[in-house]
Amino acid sequence: MGRLTTHVLDTSAGRPAAGIAVALDRLEAGGPVRLAETVTNSDGRCDGPILEGEAFAAGVYELAFAAGAYFRQRGVDLADPPFLDLVTIRFGIAAPGEHYHVPLLISPYGYSTYRGS
């Protein structure tokens, strides 16, 4: 069965981003449906898959990362409002039997992502 995982790397500090709140929504006709909320561990990863089993279905999803709160907690001097606060990645799952890994590389002024393995 497929599963969804993520991890976050703080490229401005050159280390995993521990303590980032992560939320997962599935986008449906009636609006977004919250499926999971978690926080990254000391390795910048979630302790397990964010989504797996029968709930892991084809569709459009959003992962939201509380980047602004993370950088404020680290003592980074951010503008008000910060350039990046809630970083949202919208992606599709077309093959629910596969592993989807959505990493986030983040700094206070930029981010990137890709489909990892």
Which domain CATH number covers 46? 2.60.40.180
Q: What is the pLDDT of residue 84?
A: 97
Rg (CA), the chain: 14
Number of separate domains in the chain: 1
> What does the pLDDT read at residue 104?
98
Q: What is the pLDDT of residue 1?
A: 78
**Predicted local confidence at residue 117, as pLDDT:** 85
95 contact partners, CB below 8 Å, separation of at least 6? 2, 58
What is the pTM assigned to this prediction?
0.96
Structural domain boundaries, residue 84: 3-113
* Residue 30 confidence (pLDDT): 94
pLDDT along the chain (117 residues), means of 10: 95 97 97 97 97 94 98 96 97 96 98 95
